[in-house]
Amino acid sequence: MEITAGFITDFLGGTIKGDRNAIITGASTIENGKPGSISFLSNLKYEEFIYSSDATAILVDKTFEPAHPVKATLICVDNVYESLARLLEKFNTPATAVVREISNRAEIHDSVMKGKNVGIGAFSIIESDVEIGDEVEIKGQVFIGKGVKIGSNSIIMSGVKIMEGCVIGSNVIIHSNTVIGSDGFGFAPTGEGNYVKILQLGNVIIKDDVEIGSNCSIDRATFGSTIIHKGAKLDNLIQIAHNVEIGSHTVIAAQTGIAGSTKIGEHCRIGGQVGIVGHITIADGTQIQAQSGIQSSIKTANSKLFGSPALDYNNYLRSYAIFKNLPNLAEKVEKLNRELKARVHEGDA
């Protein structure tokens, strides 16, 4: 990559403060900016680095006002993260069309229907009656079970398992070692103190534009479908149980677990290590801070929650400010109680 700061500014629809002709040859973090690189500042926690960075250009918010002189050319945009994503996507796109190949070491059933320019890596297994759309890339050592459908332009990374009957939309990315359609956790206790397995007869539906991280498990439904709706983004190491629904454009961070039949709304943001019980609903736009526990339905849209069990975000912060000082508060209360008793005793005397 070798382009000018002015070209980047025009591409992003921003404004520039500095040299439009400055040459950009790569990208860097703001802490380790080097001449010729472009960096970004979106979190003001890192503002101190902008004044010492050797980066040639830095993406900043249009509202940013430097407190000190900045050596770099500033490219001012409405949304730094969105602009960065657009920039990286543009310059990571191959100049020529990608020609995909099907490895002769892949095992593909004769009934598989493949679209145009499909790639299938070595040691992948694709069972009967699978349908694969145009421009799909399936890496090595992938397993795709009977009757699976995969939409166009999707990418299935190495080691992914997609079990029978599941449906994957278009423009979906599934990262390594994730399992789609594993059995839901269903067992019925008997009078003898043991458990009988409940067959899981449903499937998983992943809709368009979803991205799923590595080492996730998304269980098939007992009946019907476990559904991840359009544009949802899942981090690594997430467990989604049978019959769960994740709303459109909801994002979920790593190590979150969601129990069976819970319905999560659209545009929710769920932090890492959140635990959510089964058979509840979570309203659109809900934000749940990391390590929170959700034990009942959230009915108010755009709620912000924290704690375990989770409380209103601001209420939790106020409560925690008191909680962490409880030993000192208890000592003060005990001291006041002793003084009060002493005064009462003196009055009786």
- Residues with catalytic roles: 242
> Residue 87 burial by CB count (10 A; 0-12/13-18/19+): exposed, middle or buried?
buried
Report which secondary-structure segment, H or E, holds 323. helix 313-323
Distance, in Å, from the CA atom of 210 to the CA atom of 229, rounded to the nearest integer, reads 7
Please choose, from the candidates 193, 127, 198, the residue with its C-alpha nearest in 3D space to the C-alpha of residue 166: 127
In sequence order, what are the beta bridge partners of 251? 233, 269
Radius of gyration, alpha carbons of the chain: 27
Tell me the β-bridge partners of 293. Answer: 275
Quote the distance between the C-alpha of residue 291 and its chain's center.
15
Judge contact between 278 and 261, C-beta under 8 A. Answer: yes
Q: Which two tokens stand for residue 278?
A: 């089964």
In the three-class reduction of DSSP (H, G, I as helix; E, B as strand; rest coil), residue 10 is classed as helix
How many beta carbons lie within 10 A of that of residue 338, not counting itself?
A: 10
Distance CA 82, CA 255 (A): 25
Please say whether the beta carbons of 55 and 40 come within 8 A.
no
